[in-house]
Structure 1
Amino acid sequence: MSEARTQSPSATGPEKKKAGALTVRQAAFIGVGSMVGAGIFALLGAAGEVAGAAVWISFLLAGTVAALQGYSFARLGARYPAGGGFVEYVVRGWGDGHLTGVIAWMLIAVNAIITAMVAVSFGSYASAAVSDGAGWTTAFAVLILLVMAGLNVLGSQAVARAQTVVVVVVVGILTVFSVATIANLNVDLLAFSGYPSFRQVVSSVALTFFAFLGFGVITFTSKDLAEPRRQLPRAVYLALAIATVVYVAVAIGVFGTLTVEQVIASGGTALAVAAEPVLGSAGYWLMSITALFATAGATNSGLYPATGLADQMAASRQFPPVMGHRVGGRASMGIVLTTTAAILMAIFLDLNAIASIGSAVALIVFTLVTFGHMRIRRETGARLSVLVLANLATIVVLVAFAATTLVNEPATTITLVALLALSVVLDLVWKSRRPAMTDAGQRTR
């Protein structure tokens, strides 16, 4: 049996209660905070261009696809709880070769891109709240990255407490928004007769699925759960259920209040515009506050996997040992590297042009994880039929994404190829040196 397929101590034997461990609710809220971030504010207009008023169906379909992959991840996490999250599942399914290393490097880079994008979104809302111009956007983006990095350095409990506040505020306000708009919606705006073809609705799932990418973050909480075998699946399902209900309700509220043309024209302020007819001018500020909390929470959750990913990959020698070190005895190299990269990108890059890269990489990784899961399903007890259905659904979304987004966004395609090439080079360079090293610094074969 390969090194990757041997059982780690965390995957076997009785689980011991850990002091200061996260609860199911806290783990789920870390995932909800990552999912219900900038996506719901930015996606409605773009999805409306493809799916029209049927965006709520698109979110429902995307939630179903995420739930199918969530089944795969939950089964793997219950069997192999580890701080490396779903990268550990890649190792279990495919071994410790180049594929795992390349995926791990890509995830580090993509995580930094998405975190930077969300931080810039926070900066935009914060800048608009304090001034008419956008001159403070970068400053606020850097500030939120540093603050949330500090929370992550303090530990998982600090992250969980912050996310609890964020999720309660965001979900609470979005619930008020949904109830108010649905109670006053114009049923004619949601008439089935005005919906585009089902093919177009399916195509839009490639966009709305982006709003569910954060559920993978929950797998990195395994190391902080008292009983991950029992608690991780519950956290995954709870987070996906909350996110799906929120997305569907918000979409119905917005498209039942505004015409499709108005939603598209409103862009990222669609929720604020939809809130005004029923909540008055206070609705705009209510949605602005929600956006600030949501993007701050998404930044916090985006940084959370960095420590576990870097530590796990350094321990398995997929990354150089330095990636498992602590700066100043507290800050993990994963956090330092991700935060530094996110700050540099927030300052120097046009993140809107490459933001879709997160969807492409996540869809590929999710598919590879579940294909690997099929190879070891007897160890997890997962049903092959569900795993096959999960991958079929994800592949359909990936093909739709390639046809609707990558074709029309050359910057995203170029970035994806460059990111893949860089990850391959980093993996090859490190592993060309790794055989000559052991933990004791001696030569090995």
Structure 2
Amino acid sequence: MTDASPHRKYLTVRQASFIGVGAMVGAGIFALLGAAGEVAGAAVWISFLIAGAIAGLQGYSFAKLGARYPSGAGLFEYLARGFGNGHLTGVTAWLTYVANAIVTAMVAVSFGSYASAAFTNEDPTWTKIFAALVLIVMTGVNIVGSQLVARAQTIIVYIVLGILVLFSLVTLFTIDPSLLAPSGYPPLGDIIASVALTFFAFLGFGIITFTAKDLREPARQLPRAMYLALGIATVIYVAIALGVFGTLPVDVVISSGGTALAVAAQPALGEFGYVLMIITALFATAGATNAGLYPAVGLCDQLAATGQMPPLMSHRVGGKASVGLLVAAALSLILAIGFDLTAIASIGSAVALLVFMMATVAHFRVRANTGASLTLLILAVLTCGIALVAFLISTVVNDPGSAVAMLVIIVLGVIMDLSWKRVRANRDAVAPPTTAPPDREPGEAPPSEP
């Protein structure tokens, strides 16, 4: 349990949920509508509703696990509880650490693109500069601590949600019902297939599990934060999809790409609406960058403590800056500045989807301790697995380069885990004997061998 010190400042349920909302309502909703519209047409709102239900099932699993095993390591505490601290947990940890850096870099580049479009007429050099700046600033925010992260996210999320609610109300009151007529929807199979895309707009909710270390009563507050964040995101996504596809024909949404929300705002709000949505995109991508860096500290601290990462990753530079955070930020910075991330843009999402499913599979092994419903856990695994398989099939067929890059990252994760554990084993072999570890608590399982 988290130490409820009377002198320590804790996050509230709202602050924890807003970290998740900030991670979810980022670049995805701005870039996703066109791609989803190509598959689901004007029925994208149904796709978001289904994706929200799938995320809700995963959220139920994580809320039960988080209430029983609150930890700064978030999902990886759940994996360790189910599978032990062996190679499976270690490889997954390295995979997620790298994949999260990719996603954070992508979001930072999205911020750079919007900032460049707003201020420099889409100069590609300035896109990189703005991406680097937002990464540096948000790294500084995370170094200061979770309270500043929460305050920054609260301000950002209020601004983003306020503008998106305004956009939804304006467009919903002026929609053309004929554009949303079910007679124009594609086959149900296409709508289901699009869920593999729309589900990725919810992936940020997993970051909420890492807030447990900063909550006064994580067993009670973490589930509330999880459900609140998912509820807000689902309502916003469905309302935006209805507003956009009820204002613009499907082909216009597809051709508008990442500016679809801005284009949809123009009929009612004119040029002001276009500029307003660009500003919203800047705040949303800045918030998602901030939230993307947040898990690094708790993740590296816990995994270093359990031997899954080198102790250096939990070290504090100057007593404040986590090496794990600095490495994650540096990796994101290198990726954002030095690489074209288009080919691997969705890999971080795919890895997150796999980790979510594995965490719920691990839940089966400790279900007696969490009291979770077996039926809901089975549904969570099945629905998440279907979304992942649909995504993988689509990726292999339409973007084989991403499939190859995904395989390379998996191999890299295996190599990093094996290499570190070999170093750890050699170090332990020459280390002097230590005193015997304390007795385990009654009923506690012994740690798994690496």
User: TM-score when scaled to structure 1?
Assistant: 0.95
Whether 1:32 and 2:21 are equivalent positions in the alignment is yes
Match of 2:269 among 271, 279, 285: 279
What is the one-letter code of the residue matched to 1:159? V
* 2:40 equivalent among 47, 51, 56: 51
List alignment gaps of at least 5 residues for structure 2.
435-448
* 1:199-238 alignment, distance < 5 Å: 199-238=189-228
Post-superposition shift, 1:18?
A: 6.2
Q: Is the 8 A contact 1:213 1:362 kept in 2?
A: yes
Q: Does 1:114 align with 2:82?
A: no
User: Quick one: distance in 1 between partners of 2:98 and 2:19?
Assistant: 20
In the alignment, is the contact (CA less than 8 A) between 2:17 and 2:229 conserved in 1?
Answer: yes
Q: Which residue type is aligned with residue 114 of structure 1?
A: V
Deviation digits for residues 215-255 of structure 1 (CA, Å, limit 9, x no counterpart): 00000000000000000000000000000000000000000
**In the alignment, residue 37 of structure 1 is paired with which amino acid?**
G
Contact 2:316 2:322 in 1 (8 A): yes
1:96-154 residue CA offsets vs partner (Å, 9 max, x unmatched): 10000000000110110000000000001111111113231000000000000000000
Q: How many residues align?
A: 434
In 1, the alpha carbon distance for the partners of 2:294 and 2:416 equals: 23
Give how far 1:440 is off. 11
**How many angstroms apart in 2 are the aligned matches of 1:440 and 1:146?**
40
1-structure distance, mates of 2:11, 2:427: 36
Matches of 1:212 and 1:166, distance apart in 2? 18
Residues 365/328 of structure 1: CA separation in 2 closer, same or farther (3 Å cut): same
Superposed CA RMSD in Å reads 1.6
Residue 309 (str. 1) matches residue 299 (str. 2): yes
Say yes or no: does 1:378 pair with 2:373. no
Q: 1:192 to 1:18 in 2, by over 3 A?
A: farther
For residues 294 and 378 of structure 1, the distance between their equivalents in structure 2, rounded to whole angstroms, comes to: 39
**CA distance in structure 1 between the partners assigned to 2:339 and 2:7 by the alignment:** 42
Counterpart code for 2:108:
A
- The alpha carbon displacement at 1:439 in A equals 12
- Following TM superposition, by how much is the alpha carbon of 1:438 offset from its aligned partner in structure 2, in angstroms? 5.2
- Look up the SS of the partner of 1:22 in the other structure: coil
Q: 1:101 to 1:269 in 2, by over 3 A?
A: same
Equivalent residue in structure 1 for 2:246, among 243, 253, 256: 256
After superposition, the C-alpha distances for 1:35-76 in whole angstroms (9 at most, x for unaligned) are: 000000000000000000000000000000000000000110
Moved more, 174-183 or 330-339: 330-339
Contact 1:203 / 1:404 at 8 angstroms: preserved in 2? no
* TM superposition score normalised by structure 2: 0.94
Residues 1:158 and 2:124 aligned together = no
Closer, same or farther: CA 329–16 of 1 in aligned 2, 3 Å: closer
Q: Which residue of 1 aligns with 2:121?
A: 132
Q: Judge conservation of contact 1:79–1:380 (CA < 8 Å) in 2.
A: yes
Counterpart-to-counterpart distance in 2, 1:325 and 1:112: 19
Alignment match, 2:166: 176
Cα distance in structure 2, aligned partners of 1:412 and 1:239: 30
Q: How does 1:409-424 map to 2 (within 5 A)?
A: 409-424=399-414
**How far apart, in 2, do the equivalents of 1:27 and 1:118 lie?**
20
Match of residue 385 from structure 2: 395
Report what 1:6 is aligned to: none
Residue 366 of structure 1 corresponds to which residue in structure 2? Answer: 356
1:408 aligns with 2:403: no
Cα distance between partner residues in 2 of 1:439 and 1:229: 39
Structure 1 stretches lacking a partner, 5+ long? 1-9
Deviation at 1:17, TM superposition (A): 5.4
